[in-house]
Amino acid sequence: MNKVSIIGAGMTGSTTAHWLAERELADIVLVDVVDGMPQGKALDLQESLPVIGKDVQIVGSNSYAETSGSDIIVITAGLPRKPGMSRDDLLMANTKIVSAAAEAAIKESPDAIFIILTNPLDVMAYLTMKVAGIPAERVVGQAGILDSARMRAFVAMELGVSVENVHCYVLGGHGDDMVPLVRHSNVAGIPLETALSPQQLGAIVERTRKGGGEIVSLLKTGSAFYAPSIAITQMVEAILKDKHLIVPAAAYLNGEYGLKDLFFGVPVQLGRKGVEKIYEYELTDSERDAFNKSATGVKENIAKLNL
Ligand code: TXD
């Protein structure tokens, strides 16, 4: 059985464990600093499995020893946003937490692939690569599947069609300057720009950009967790099953899209080795401008880390 360790057993971490166990994808270790919490959640989840007939082991712990030999390490440890906060406001607090997590996790699982969720996402993925000292293809950040799923949900609701017919691609940094690529998105092959009026489309793009904030203001404590954790699950499955699945995700760029030395949301092919390939879309001038604006924000935050 494959082994996936999730660092941070809060809302996104434990919900990821839930989706993974339900799909019988791997044995799971949940690690958190809170005494008893990961153990309690792991046991509760383990006790749910007889009902659905799934056989995976789920362990909760406050130490990294149990994570030893993991195929994948998912890092969700850190603070979530409060209403009114931007993702960037979390930078300094989460840098300490993610550094410690990456350092401890790599010692136990030197060959693992890391999937990062903690915000600010693109910067935390970069930090993990540096601290763990592993090749870029073994680190990938989750943001694009979620942002694209939000846009797909809004389009499906607007048109009254199945979400299965809606394909959207949101790339760039995981912040308010993310880039919903309208020209590359479609409904059953019909370009989004034909299927929707400019007003409808404009409203959907805006709601997508602020999709995380919309949930934060509704919840008042904490941020979204169902959609982010199913997005991680899709990435875990693509890696463990060596699917060569192309998804929007944060990968290390070394010249692709004219950008260098940052993690950034692009179409990424995921397989057993991690990031197998980055696909480059042809962009118009305005799309490229949006990419560059988003990348500047990510670069500024990376610079603050003084790595
Ligand atoms: O798409 C995306 N990238 C995101 C990112 C979508 C949703 C959430 N996103 C970010 O993930 C969010 O802004 C946060 O930075 C993280 C985790 O969000 P979550 O909603 O899971 O936060 P919780 O419920 O507060 O859980 C965080 C847990 C909590 O149980 C802490 O005790 C734990 O992290 N924590 C730690 N675990 C291990 N080790 C250390 N050092 C540690 N510090 C805190």
Give pLDDT tens digits for 201-258.
999 999 999 999 999 999 999 999 999 999 999 999 999 999 999 999 999 999 999 9
Q: Among the atoms of ligand 1, which is closest to the Cα of residue 117?
A: 3
- pLDDT interval class at 199 (50, 70, 90): very high
User: 79 CA distance to ligand 1 centroid (A)?
Assistant: 5
Q: Is the CB of 77 under 6 A from ligand 1?
A: yes
* Nearest Cα to Cα of residue 146 among 76, 87, 209: 209
- Give the closest residue (by CA) to ligand 1 atom 42: 77
Is the CB of 81 inside a 6 Å radius of any atom of ligand 1?
A: yes
When pLDDT is averaged across residues 135-149 and rounded to a whole number, the result is: 98
Distance 115 CA to ligand 1 centre (A): 13
CA 30 to chain CA mean position, Å: 17
What pLDDT sits at residue 149? 98
Longest CA pairwise span in the chain (Å): 55
* 131 CA to centre of ligand 1 in angstroms: 19
At 22-47, the pLDDT tens digits run 999 999 999 999 999 999 999 999 99
Q: Which residues are catalytic?
A: 174
DSSP 8-state class, residue 24: T
SS3 228: helix
User: Hey, whose CA ends up nearest to atom 12 of ligand 1?
Assistant: 80
Q: 247 and 235 in contact (C-beta within 8 Å)?
A: yes
Q: Is the CB of 142 under 6 A from ligand 1?
A: yes
Q: Over range 299-304, report the average pLDDT.
A: 94
Single-letter amino acid code for the residue at 98? V
Cβ 99 under 6 angstroms from ligand 1 = no
Cβ neighbours around 193 below 10 Å, total: 13
Percent of the chain at pLDDT above 90? 93
| CB of 174 sitting under 6 A from ligand 1 | yes
Q: Which amino acid is at 58?
A: I
The closest residue, in CA terms, to atom 13 on ligand 1 is 80
118, 124 Cβ separation under 8 angstroms: yes
Q: Is the CB of 90 under 6 A from ligand 1?
A: yes
Q: List b or e across 163-178, with b for residues whose CB sees 16 or more CB atoms inside 10 angstroms.
A: eebbbbbbbbbbbebb
Distance CA 133, CA 136 (A): 9
User: For 165-178, what is the mean pLDDT?
Assistant: 94
Pocket test for ligand 1, best of 76, 148, 226 (most atoms within 8 A of CB): 76
